[in-house]
């Protein structure tokens, strides 16, 4: 979506309220970014503000599982005429009245007089997307390495509940007595 600065000048209060609703490709947003924004023109430039909501699909950096995170961003971006912008020069730190330093939220008005609102929203969503992703307090933590090969034998021996072959614990004394009570039973089975 684009807004012409000249159009704003012709509106009552130099203000345009509009509903923004666009898919943002190349971001992690899986729903369209939607919100009500307004663009206001004044002698010192154009201010775009409002709120944008969307839903991100992220991958947890710990458990690597995908999860969803809703995003609600306050937009407040100013476009000022180039003469208002001061790019700090080396050894010159003084700032004159009415001049603004270039930062993330102040940009020069484009020469063609067309504001790219999509780009404003796109940058806001990109900035608000976390760099470290965590699925939350319920995170199961790093996944166990699925080797499937060498450690397989160990796992089955552990899970074989009835198997006493590998059990090298000393025989319970009471069980010893039972064995001596029925020596014939034991020898029958073995022959």
Give 80 or 135: the residue with its C-beta nearer to Zn ion: 135
Give 56 or 80: the residue with its C-beta nearer to Zn ion: 56
Which residue has 């760099």 as its token pair?
A: 131
Q: Does 135 bind Zn ion (CB under 5 A)?
A: yes
Smallest distance from the beta carbon of 66 to Zn ion, in angstroms? 10
Smallest distance from the beta carbon of 64 to Zn ion, in angstroms? 7
Give 100 or 139: the residue with its C-beta nearer to Zn ion: 139
Output the CA–CA distances (angstroms, integers) from residue 3 to 10, 20, 33, 129, in the order listed: 12, 12, 17, 25
Stretch that binds Zn ion, among 19-27, 114-122, 134-142, 158-166 (CB under 5 A): 134-142
Smallest distance from the beta carbon of 141 to Zn ion, in angstroms? 7
Smallest distance from the beta carbon of 112 to Zn ion, in angstroms? 45
- Binders of Zn ion among 149-168, rule CB under 5 A? none
Q: How far apart are CA 86 and CA 80, in angstroms?
A: 11
Give 44 or 65: the residue with its C-beta nearer to Zn ion: 65
* E strand segments, the chain: 2-4, 15-22, 33-42, 45-59, 66-80, 85-86, 100-101, 106-108, 114-116
Q: How far apart are CA 190 and CA 168, in angstroms?
A: 20
Total number of residues binding Zn ion (CB under 5 A)? 5
Q: 44: how many CB neighbours lie within 10 A of its CB?
A: 13
Output the CA–CA distances (angstroms, integers) from residue 86 to 79, 81, 93, 114, 142, in the order listed: 13, 11, 10, 22, 48
Give 67 or 84: the residue with its C-beta nearer to Zn ion: 67
- Binding mask 47-86 toward Zn ion (x if CB under 5 A, else -) reads -------------x-xx-----------------------
The footprint of Zn ion (CB under 5 A) covers 60, 62-63, 135, 139
């Amino acid at each position: 979506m684009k807004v012409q600065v000249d159009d704003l000048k012709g509106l009552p209060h130099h203000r345009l309220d509009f509903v923004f609703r666009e898919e943002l490709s190349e971001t992690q947003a899986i729903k369209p970014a939607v919100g009500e924004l307004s663009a206001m023109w004044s002698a010192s430039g154009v201010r775009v503000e409002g709120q944008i909501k969307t839903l991100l699909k992220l991958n947890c950096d710990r458990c690597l599982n995908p999860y969803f995170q809703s995003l609600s961003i306050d937009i407040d971006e100013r476009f000022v005429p180039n003469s208002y912008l001061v790019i700090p020069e080396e050894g010159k730190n003084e700032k004159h009245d009415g001049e603004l330093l270039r930062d993330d939220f102040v940009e020069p008005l484009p020469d063609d007089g067309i504001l790219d609102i999509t780009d404003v929203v796109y940058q806001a969503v990109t900035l608000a997307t976390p760099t470290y992703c965590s699925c939350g307090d319920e995170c199961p933590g790093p996944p166990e390495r699925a080797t499937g090969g060498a450690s397989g034998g160990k796992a089955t021996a552990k899970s074989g509940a009835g198997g006493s072959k590998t059990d090298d614990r000393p025989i319970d004394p009471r069980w010893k007595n039972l064995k001596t009570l029925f020596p014939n039973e034991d020898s029958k089975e073995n022959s």
